């Protein structure tokens, strides 16, 4: 109790306490906003031969599976489940696209080079297609 009385009468300690609390609450609010916005508004864009085939919103309730045929006669089976997308089957020789698993973040796209297929996660708030600083 003596400590709290000292804080109330010592102006430097009082301002320091308020500053620390303000920084703490600002950081907590920023983290909450980031977590909340990162889980909403994601879309999967599916490209083949450089053309956009389909945009699919990734929501938790979406469960879908479909097959895409390539111009060379191959196929990829794409699965959407609980906010994630991935290739579950393909007839390409190396099967790297299947081994990439299910994705839900914008960091790394799934690509199947033999079938010229790319699946990219996009944030709905992104407005610019440029993802790096240019000079």
**pLDDT beyond 70 at 6:** no
pLDDT at 26: 92
pLDDT interval class at 18 (50, 70, 90):
confident
One domain for residues 52 and 108: yes
Tell me whether residue 59 is in a domain: yes
pLDDT tens digits, one per residue of 91-111: 998 899 999 999 988 888 999
One domain for residues 22 and 60: no
Q: Residue 61 belongs to what domain range? A: 42-123
pLDDT tens digits, one per residue of 54-85: 998 888 777 889 999 988 888 999 999 888 99
One domain for residues 9 and 57: no
Q: For residues 81 and 19, is the Cβ–Cβ distance under 8 A? A: no
**pLDDT beyond 70 at 15:** yes
One domain for residues 68 and 108: yes
Classify burial at 62, counting beta carbons within 10 Å of its beta carbon; exposed 0-12, middle 13-18, buried 19 or more.
middle
In terms of Cα–Cα distance, which of 128, 130, 92 is closest to 110?
92
Q: What is the mean pLDDT of residues 12-28?
A: 87
What is the domain count for the chain?
A: 2
One domain for residues 79 and 22: no
One domain for residues 87 and 63: yes
What's the predicted TM-score (pTM) here?
0.62
- Kindly report the CATH number assigned to the domain that includes residue 100: 2.60.320.10
């Amino acid at each position: 109790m003596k400590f709290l009385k000292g804080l109330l009468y010592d102006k430097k300690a009082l301002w320091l306490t308020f500053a620390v609390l303000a920084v703490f609450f600002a950081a907590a609010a920023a983290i909450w906003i980031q977590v909340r916005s990162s889980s909403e508004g994601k879309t999967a864009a599916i490209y083949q031969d450089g053309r956009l085939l389909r945009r699919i919103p990734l929501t938790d309730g979406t469960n879908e599976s479909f097959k895409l045929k390539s111009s060379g006669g191959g196929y990829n089976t794409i699965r959407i489940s609980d906010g994630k997308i991935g290739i579950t089957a393909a007839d390409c020789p190396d099967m790297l696209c299947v081994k990439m698993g299910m994705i839900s973040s914008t960091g790394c796209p799934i690509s199947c080079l033999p079938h010229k297929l790319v699946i990219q996660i996009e944030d709905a708030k992104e407005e610019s297609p440029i993802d790096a600083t240019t000079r």
